């Protein structure tokens, strides 16, 4: 495992910075970070836990990283990018992070709110009838056809950013799946007259994870006048130095990409077939604000460190501190969030990351309202990608962390067990410091 020498270098660098910055406010933060890193035995325990997970074949490979105000204080790479002879996992391994693009899209939209090009609370621009004149599914007629009615109120950006607009994913909503299957049975003429993605409820009335942020991406493009990939690159990725985050993987990045593995009924893992260069489909011309992006653990950690730091990092500012604070605040009131029931177990298990803990949603993140035992504090922010990539931001403890592997289904129990071991280890190290 190649991460230990890197971590020793981080420890040494952080200690040097702490000494150099003595007496300044920044120096106090850096010295606190250096003190937290003194729990090297605790960090070694993380290594042991994650190494044993990959050695046992529970996961093909893992890259995990954590940072605080002083910088990166843990990084580990274990296992291989592909079971059965693939190269070792490394810090620069490229992962499909899927829905972890959603916070990036949310940041892009909130930047435009700061510039008065979008509004949080007024009806969204009428870029498509699906959000300009939304229809709500009210049931099915005796023949099985869907019944629709106009929504009681317009959709706002606030609704979209908090997954309270009414849009759903078929993967986690049985009624949305029923609608899709019913529409597919209708004659083509009637099928074309129906919305592809109706609302499952009126805007603002409950929470349901869905295609909301896909629509936010469309709004970002309309308000900025730029394709989404260009807008992200110019305003987020390049300023932060995120060179390995993109919708389209380059030829060089493809040499570092991790294969997706599928969990079989007996618990073993089967790698997906290797994608050959000469059989790939042409690169897409449009991109989704809700999924489809690739990144590395280091790149994504850079992004969430900027949010931990109030919207800026290394001289690049993404958002004002007050806007970042809004992202981390409960924006759905008394509505509950975060629990999802699968309709396709091969792609996702049922999702309830924190049983017994109240979950809310801010602008781009899920929020745990009570502390997690031996882990993140109340008010921490998190979300994930379909292939079991995860992040969290803990504004109280001042920790940001990422955990990446490539396994389906989502919320894989063995992946979550390793993720929790990583989290417990990080907080044990911080506490020891």
Domain limits, the chain:
3-113+224-432, 119-213
Determine what percent of the chain is predicted with pLDDT higher than 90.
Answer: 84
pLDDT digit string (tens) for 376-418? 999 999 999 999 999 999 999 999 999 999 999 999 999 999 9
> 74, 169, 179, 209: which one is catalytic?
209
**For range 256-271, the mean pLDDT:** 96
Instruction: Give, in order, the Cα–Cα distances in Å from 283 to each of 215, 247, 249, 253, 289.
Output: 21, 9, 9, 15, 17
Instruction: Give, in order, the Cα–Cα distances in Å from 309 to each of 17, 140, 317.
Output: 18, 49, 10
Q: How far is CA 407 from the centre of its chain?
A: 15
**For range 15-24, the mean pLDDT:** 36
> 80, 96, 99, 348: which one is catalytic?
99
- As a whole number of angstroms, the distance between CA 61 and CA 399 comes to 23
Mean pLDDT, all residues of the chain: 90
Structure confidence at residue 284 as a pLDDT band (50, 70, 90):
low
pTM of this structure: 0.90
User: Hey, what CATH class is 3-113+224-432 in?
Assistant: alpha beta
* Parallel, antiparallel or unpaired: strands 316-317 and 359-361: unpaired
Burial of 173 (0-12, 13-18, 19+ CB in 10 A): buried
Residue identified by tokens 């049931």 is 139
Contacts of 19 (CB under 8 A, 6+ apart): none
Q: Known catalytic residue: 102?
A: yes
User: Is residue 318 over pLDDT 50?
Assistant: yes
Q: 410: closest CA among 230, 120, 172?
A: 172
- As a whole number of angstroms, the distance between CA 339 and CA 378 comes to 18
**For range 282-292, the mean pLDDT:** 84
> How many CA within 13 A on the CB side of residue 198?
25
The pLDDT, as a whole number, for residue 42 is 83
**For range 141-163, the mean pLDDT:** 96
> 96, 102, 106, 360: which one is catalytic?
102
Structure confidence at residue 30 as a pLDDT band (50, 70, 90):
very low
The pLDDT, as a whole number, for residue 181 is 96
The pLDDT, as a whole number, for residue 373 is 96
Instruction: Give, in order, the Cα–Cα distances in Å from 422 to each of 154, 196, 206, 260, 404.
Output: 42, 40, 33, 21, 11
Q: Known catalytic residue: 119?
A: no
Q: Known catalytic residue: 209?
A: yes
**For range 336-361, the mean pLDDT:** 97
User: Is residue 33 over pLDDT 60?
Assistant: no
């Amino acid at each position: 495992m190649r991460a230990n020498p890197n971590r020793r270098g981080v420890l040494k660098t952080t200690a040097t910075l702490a000494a150099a910055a003595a007496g300044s406010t920044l120096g106090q933060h850096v010295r606190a970070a250096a003190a937290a890193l003194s729990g090297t035995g605790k960090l070694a325990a993380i290594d042991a836990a994650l190494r044993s997970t990959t050695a046992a074949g529970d996961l093909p490979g893992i890259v995990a990283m954590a940072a605080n105000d002083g910088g990166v204080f843990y990084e580990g790479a274990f296992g291989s990018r592909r079971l059965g002879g693939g190269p070792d996992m490394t810090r620069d391994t490229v992962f499909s992070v899927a829905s972890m693009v959603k916070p990036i899209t949310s940041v892009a939209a909130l930047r435009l709110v700061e510039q008065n090009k979008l509004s949080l609370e007024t009806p969204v621009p009428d870029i498509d009838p699906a959000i300009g004149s939304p229809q709500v599914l009210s049931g099915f007629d005796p023949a099985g056809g869907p019944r629709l009615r106009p929504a009681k109120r317009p959709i706002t950006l606030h609704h979209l950013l908090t997954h309270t607009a009414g849009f759903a994913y078929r993967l986690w909503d049985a009624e949305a799946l029923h609608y899709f299957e019913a529409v597919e049975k209708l004659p083509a003429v009637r099928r074309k007259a129906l919305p592809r993605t109706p609302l499952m409820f009126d805007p603002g009335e409950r929470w349901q994870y869905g295609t909301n942020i896909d629509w936010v991406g469309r709004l970002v493009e309309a308000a900025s006048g730029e394709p989404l990939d260009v807008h992200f690159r110019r305003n987020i990725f390049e300023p932060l130095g995120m060179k390995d985050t993109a919708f389209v993987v380059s030829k060089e990045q493809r040499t570092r990409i991790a294969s997706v593995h599928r969990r079989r009924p007996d618990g073993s893992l089967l790698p997906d077939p290797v994608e050959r260069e000469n059989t790939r489909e042409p690169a897409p011309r449009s991109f989704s604000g809700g999924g489809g992006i690739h990144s590395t653990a280091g790149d994504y950690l850079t992004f969430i460190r900027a949010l931990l730091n109030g919207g800026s990092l290394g001289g690049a500012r993404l958002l004002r501190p007050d806007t970042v604070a809004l992202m981390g605040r409960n924006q759905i009131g008394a509505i509950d969030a975060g629990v999802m029931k699968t309709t396709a177990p091969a792609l996702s298990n049922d999702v309830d990351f924190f049983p017994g803990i109240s979950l809310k949603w801010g602008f781009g993140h899920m929020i745990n309202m009570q502390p997690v035992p031996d882990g993140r504090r109340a008010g921490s922010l998190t979300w994930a990608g379909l292939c079991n990539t995860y992040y969290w931001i803990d504004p109280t403890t001042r920790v940001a962390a990422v955990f990446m592997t490539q396994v389906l289904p989502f919320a894989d129990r063995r992946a979550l067990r390793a993720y929790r071991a990583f989290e417990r280890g990080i907080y044990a190290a911080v506490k020891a410091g």
